[in-house]
Structures are given as C-alpha cells and as structure tokens.
Amino acid sequence: MTGGAVGSLIAQFFHLTSTERKTLLVAGAAAGMSATFAAPLAAVLLAVELLLFEWKPRSLIPVALASATAAAMRRYIIGLGPLFPVPAHPAFIGPQGLLGCAVAGLLAGALSAMLTQAVYAAEDAFLRLPIHWMWWPAIGGLVIGVGGWMFPQALGVGYDVIGDLLQGDVGGRLILGVLVVKSVIWSVSLGSGTSGGVLAPLLMMGGALGGVEAWFLPAEGMGFWPLVSMGAILGGTMRSPLTGIVFALELTHDVNMVLPLLVAVTIAHGFTVLTLRRSILTEKIARRGFHLSREYAVDPMEILFVREVMRTSVAALAADAPYDTLRHSLHGDSSRGRQRLYPVIGHNQELIGVVTRGDLQTVADAAPDKSAAPLAAILHTRPTVAFPDESLRVIVYRMAETGLTRFPVVDREHRRLVGMIALTDLLKARALNLDAEQRRERVLGAHIALLFGERRQKGA
C-alpha cells in the first residue's frame, strides 16, 4: 500500500495520464512487495494477475524494473532471502505424494471459499447493525482483541509462526488455534472495514492447514505440507495461481517444490472458480457497482481482418454521374436498405471521395444544372478509409478517434474500392468467435462407422 501510494504521488507530480498513474501505482506496490518478501518475480506476477489485468510492455517493463530495483536495494538494507528457509525436499514425491497434493489443493480451495464467504458474511452482518458505520472498526478491533487475548499467536503478521510451521516445530494446539482464531478475527477485521492485510494472514492460515494435513497425508519431509498449502491458499483465495506458485518458491528457495505446488495451487484455483462467482478481492469491488475482468483471452477483433467481414455489395457512384443517375441510386437503394455513405470512384474504380446520403438527397432534390458536376459541391475528397489487411481492432480504434462509423475499403496499392465496413459489421467478429467456441465438429470415426454400416446393409 505504501509503495503504491508513492508511485501514485510521483505520477501526479509529473502530471501523467490516468493509465500511466495506474502503472506507476502498481510498480510501487510491486516494489514494496519485492522488498518486504524478497520475492521480485512473484511481485511482478501479483501485479499482472491482481492489479494490472493486462500483459503489455507499457506496464510490464516499469513494474518489472521497479521490482528488480527494490530487490537489489533490499540486499543493502535488510539482507538477502529467503524469508523462510526450509530444509530441502525430495525432487520427486511419487504418485502417492502427488495424490496428496491434489487432496491438499481441494482442502485449500474449500478453505479459500469459506474464508471468502466469511469475510462478506461479516460485512453483511455489520450492515444490519442499527448503529453508524464509524463504530464498525471499533467493534472489529474489539473482536481482534478478544481473539488475541484467547490466542496471542494469532495477532500480528505472524512471520515467526509461519517460520515455525515450515520447520515443523509446532504442536497441535498452535496449529488449530491459528487455523480457527486467525480465520475468525481476520474475517471480522476485513468485514468491519479495519485494515487487516491479505498476504501474511493467508500464509499463516495456509501453513496451519498444511500442519493439519501432515497428520494424515504421506510424510514428505519437514514443512512440506504447510508450504504446499500456503501456495494453494494464495492461488485459491486471490485467484492468482502463478503468484501462489512462484511466491512460495521465492519465500523458501526450494525449487524442488515446483511440481507439488503446481498440482495443489491449480486444483485450489479451479475449486474456487467453480464454487465462487468472484474472488475475495473482486467481490468487494463488485458490491460497489464495478466489474473487473480477471481472464486473459484473445480479442476476436485482434485476429480477424477487414476482408473477412466487409461488405462487397456496395452502391458506388461515378464522379461524373448525372442527376438522373443520382435520383435513381437513391430510389433503388431504398428497396435494399438505406446506405448512408456512398463511395465516389473514377474510371479505374479508384476511390476519389465519399458523399453522405443526406447531402446526396439535397443535390438530387435540387433543380438540375447541366453545366455543373452534381457531386463537386458535396464530395469529401479526403475520406477516412480502411484496408483489407487491417485488423478489426485497428478499425475500432479509428472509429473511436474519428467519430465515424462507416469506412470505404480500398486496396493499398491502387486505392481501388473493394468494399465497405460499418460498425454493425464488427458484430460479425463476435459471431464468428461464438461459432468457434460453441459449434462442435463431427467426429470422423462416427462417420466412418456409418459408411461401414451402409456397406453391410448393401451386402445383406
């Protein structure tokens, strides 16, 4: 939070745009996380998966450089990582161990869903209280105080508790106390509006869950299951699987945990995706009337071209068309549908300009002047055009910049008219995308079996 505030202040000082300010805010937040946890790569992934919602050089480069700078400075101020050193775990844990990781992922996903629901159940409970909202943090603080009085280890960031869990140097009472008491006071804290943090509490609760799992899952080394569950709880609760995996690796420098973490974190992430509409972070934003996209997908406008959706059946006018031709064009066009923009072409079909339907109607209704060119007064000689090999995304941006919704399409070499594209034609891109996702192809094997069946019938 502090790093993000610094980045935002710098952007405001230099009068940067809103997008640039967001990038610097995220760069500051990533730098803060990198310096605190000695996890520069996880900080960049957290920025991408939770804050930026994009993967573009304009944002990735500043964020990555800020995270790297903070990690380098940490060496001289705090020291090197890892923050939680652990004994080396086996490079491969076998089928039983991987099955245990799947179980750990399911349990972490279930705990993630319960924690998310608990936070917003607490928030809903505070909304129903017949008191002013300014008293909510005080009540939340009271619950935290009672929980800390009952179980002091649940208070604070809990780095010492996390370290003990990863070293396997804890008893059952501490594990259950962290899992139960920390979950309650953390949920009430966030629900009341009190700042309670997310990363460190989730690491504590995930480590405690792993301590419980170590009682019945295969023994794979000291702190193995707490570490697996820490990564899984991050990936499940915050819907950031890559961050959960890399963060756990950078906190411990145990590269042998890549495969177990990949299995557990992915399953936890999938569990929460199937059981919850939103993550614990985006739910609060959605309750305030905003929507954030959390999925990375290819934009159909980026991969489809003008030539695939343009209209080739277009009414065009010759530059020297007489009045009778203009009137006939307007009358004939009404029977097919009202074309609003008319390209004007020369003898070799090269585009000379465009005229609008309104201007054309004005000229057609005027008294004919045989000595004047009918289109000369209304012809727009520098029209905005599109090219067949341009992506639809470029066309969308061009329409937004110019305010126009219809472009003639010309070839690049000779500027000959080849078609027209309008705003409504862009919907074809979405239709093609839906068709690719929903239409199922015929299975080749079923078709062959049918042919054999027909042969048997003929033979019979």
Q: Cβ(105)–Cβ(240) under 8 Å?
A: no
pLDDT tens digits, one per residue of 110-158: 999 999 999 889 988 998 999 888 998 999 889 989 998 998 888 877 8
In 3D, which of 145, 259, 125, 283 has the Cα closest to residue 192? 125
Question: Residue 62: is the preceding peptide bond cis (ω within 30°)?
Answer: no
Average of per-residue pLDDT across 41-61: 86
Q: Which two tokens stand for residue 5?
A: 């505030």
User: What SS3 class is residue 220?
Assistant: coil
Average the pLDDT over 291-313 and give the result.
Answer: 78
CB atoms within 10 A of CB 299: 13
User: What predicted TM-score, i.e. pTM, was given to this entire model?
Assistant: 0.74
Over range 240-245, report the average pLDDT.
Answer: 91
How far apart are alpha carbons 62 and 20 in whole angstroms? 10
Beta bridge partners of 311: 420
Q: What is the pLDDT of residue 386?
A: 93
| H or E element that contains 418 | strand 417-422
Six token digits for residue 211:
């301590």
The pLDDT assigned to 455 comes to 45
Strands 341-345 and 406-410: unpaired
Lookup: tokens for 111: 């705990």
CB 229 within 8 A of CB 207: yes
**Residue 50 carries which DSSP code?**
I
